[in-house]
Amino acid sequence: MNQLKSTMGAIREGWLGLSTPKKAGLITALLSIFLLVSGLSYYSQRVEYTTLFSGLEEADAGIIVNDLEAKAISYKLEDNGRTILIDDTQLDKYRIQLAVDGMMPETSTGFEIFDETSMMATDEDRNIMYQRAVTGELERAITSLQSVESAKVILSIPEGSVFGTEQPEASASVVIATKGNQQLSSATIQGVVSLVSGAVENLPANNIKIVDKSGNVLGNAALAGADEYSPELVSRYSAIVSSYEQQLQQKLMAALAPIYGMDNLSIALTAEMDFDSLEQEIVDYGDAAIRSQNVAATGGTVDVNEAAGETANDNTINSVISEEDGGQSSYEQTINNELDSTTTVRVSAPGTIKRVTATVIYNGTLSNEQKIQLDNITKATIGFDAGRNDRVEIEGIPFIATEEAADTIAESEAGIAFYLKEYGLYIAAGIGGLFILSLIAFFFRNSKEKKYRAFDEEMANATRIVEAKNVPQPPSVSIPETDQFDFTQNPKFQRDAKMKVYAKENPEMVADMIKIWMKDK
C-alpha cells in the first residue's frame, strides 16, 4: 500500500513539475494512444453479418430469434423481420445445430400433412390434402437445388370424368428465386420440368411454365435447350474449350516448372474445337458367291468361250453364233450371285480438336539448343499434330520486374491487413503498455531530480543558518592527486563525494546541520 502511495505521489509530483506545453503534448499523446487502441479494437472485433435465412414466415423467424438470443449469438433483422443475419464465423455451425435440433424452418407442407388426418375427412378433402402435399414436396425439392434460393409451385389438377375416355391434362406453374441473381442454365430448367412432370399424374412437360421473381419466362419443355445455337449452349461450349486449354496449360507448366522454374515461365494456350456432330455410314461388300446359274443353248455345237467373248465374266451372257452351213446357234447364261455386306455407322461426338497453338516465354535468353529442347518438350506435352496445323512458339525474353514488385506489394498489404485484423488488439495493447511504462519512468526521474534539488536547497539553508550562528566553517579538504576522482562529468557523484568527505572530517558540524534541518521540518 505504501509503495502504491509513493508511486502515485511520484506521478503527481512529476505531473506538477511539467510545464504547460509538456502537459498539452502528454495529453495529446494519451488521446492518440486511446484512439489508436479503440480503432484497432473495433477493427479486430467487429462482426461481419451473413444471411442465415430470408423470406421467413413470422412464426419461423420468431423461433429462430428466440434461439439466437438464448445462445447469445449476435444477429440482425432485415426485410421487416423476414431476413435474419448472424455472425459469419458462426453461420455453418449454427445451421448444423438447427438441423440437429429439428428447428430448420419449413415454409412448405409435405406429406406430413397426413400425419394428423381427421376421421371425418371426405375424399375431396383428401384430394386437396394430397395436392398440397405434392406441391410442398416439389417446392422443397426445387429449393434444394444449388442455384435456387426459394420456389413456389402452383398445380392445377382437373377432376376426371367417369364417362370420359380421355383424362384431362394437368398443368403447373413454378416461380423460382435464384441465389445472388444467378441465371438458371437450360439443364437446370429441364431438370425442374422433368421433376414436376414426373411427380404429377398426367402432366405433360409442355404444360409446365417456369418464371423468375421478375416475371420473366425462364423456359418450358419446348423452349429449354431446343435451340442448338442458344446462348446457353454457346456458353457451355466455351466453358469446355476453356477447361481443355487450362488442363493443357497445367500439364505443360507441371512439365517445365521443375526445369526452368515456375516464376520464369509464361504460357499461353489456344485450342480450336469443332462441336458439329458427324454421322458416317460405310458399307463393305465381301466376295461374291454363286447362288444360281441358268444356261440355255440352241443349234449345233457351241464353244462357250467363243460365244461369251468379252463378256465371259459377266453375270448375263446372250450370244448368237452363225455356222458355216448357214445355220445359227444361240447361247444364253444367267448367274445370280450372293454378296455379304458389312454396314458401319460412325458418329463423331462434338468437341473434336481442330488446332492447338502454344506460346512459351522464358524469363531470360535461350540458346538454339535450349529452344529446341523446350520446343520438343512442349510438343510432346500438348500432343502436337502437324496434320492439324498445330503451332508452337518458343521465345526467351526477360520479364519486366514491375509486375513482380506489384505482386509483392499486394501480398505484403494483404499480410499486413491480416495481421492487423488478427493481432491488432494485442499490438495496440503492447504499444499502450510501453507508452505507459515510459511515462512512469519519466515521472520517477523527474521526482528524483526534484528531491535532489530540494535537498540541495535544504543544505544551502542549513549552511546559512550555521554561518548566522558564527559556527566556524569546516576546513577545506585536501585530497591527494591519486585519490582524486573526476566529478566534472557527473555532478551527482561530485555532490555525493563532497558530502561524504565533509561528514567524515566534521561529524559534529554535520550532526548540528541535521538537527537544524529536522527542527525546521
Tens of pLDDT, residue by residue over 395-449, are 998 887 655 555 655 565 555 665 666 666 667 777 777 777 777 766 666 665 6
Written as nine digits, the cell of 30 is 494519451
Tens of pLDDT, residue by residue over 366-408, are 889 989 999 999 999 999 999 989 999 999 988 876 555 556 5
- In single-letter form, the type of residue at position 4 comes to L
Tens of pLDDT, residue by residue over 452-474, are 566 666 666 666 665 555 545 55
Q: Which mean pLDDT values do the consecutive 10-residue runs of the chain (521 residues) have? A: 69 71 76 77 72 76 88 85 84 84 69 69 80 86 84 85 75 86 80 88 87 76 48 73 90 91 90 80 75 72 56 62 66 76 74 89 90 92 91 89 56 60 68 74 64 62 59 50 49 66 74 70 52
DSSP code string of 396-462: E-PPPHHHHHHHHHHHHHHHHHHHHHHHHHHHHHHHHHHHHHHHHHHHHHHHHHHHHHHHHHHHHHH
Q: Are strands 171-178 and 208-212 parallel, antiparallel or unpaired?
A: parallel
| Burial (CB count <10 Å: 0-12, 13-18, 19+), residue 401 | exposed
How many Å apart are CA 212 and CA 219, to the nearest integer?
A: 10
**CB of 103 closer than 8 Å to CB of 67:** yes
How many Å apart are CA 365 and CA 363, to the nearest integer?
A: 7
Please determine whether the domains at 49-103 and 114-223 fall in the same fold group of CATH.
no
Q: What is the CATH number of domain 49-103?
A: 3.30.70
Q: What is the CATH number of domain 238-277+350-396?
A: 3.30.300.20
First to last CA, the chain: 25
Structure confidence at residue 52 (pLDDT): 84
Tens of pLDDT, residue by residue over 105-150, are 766 666 666 666 677 778 787 888 888 888 888 888 888 888 888 8
**CB of 149 closer than 8 Å to CB of 178:** yes
Q: How many CA atoms lie within 13 A of 194 on its CB side?
A: 7
Q: φ, ψ for residue 36 (rounded to 5)?
A: -65, -45
Selection from 357, 397, 362, 398 nearest residue 266 by Cα: 362
CA geometry: angle 334, 337, 343, nearest 5 deg: 150
Give the residue extent of every domain in the chain: 1-44, 49-103, 114-223, 238-277+350-396, 278-346
Q: What is the CATH number of domain 114-223?
A: 3.30.300.30
Selection from 483, 459, 387, 442 nearest residue 10 by Cα: 442
**CB of 274 closer than 8 Å to CB of 369:** no
**CB of 114 closer than 8 Å to CB of 129:** yes
Looking at the DSSP bridge assignments, the partners of residue 333 are 295, 317
How many Å apart are CA 509 and CA 505, to the nearest integer?
A: 9
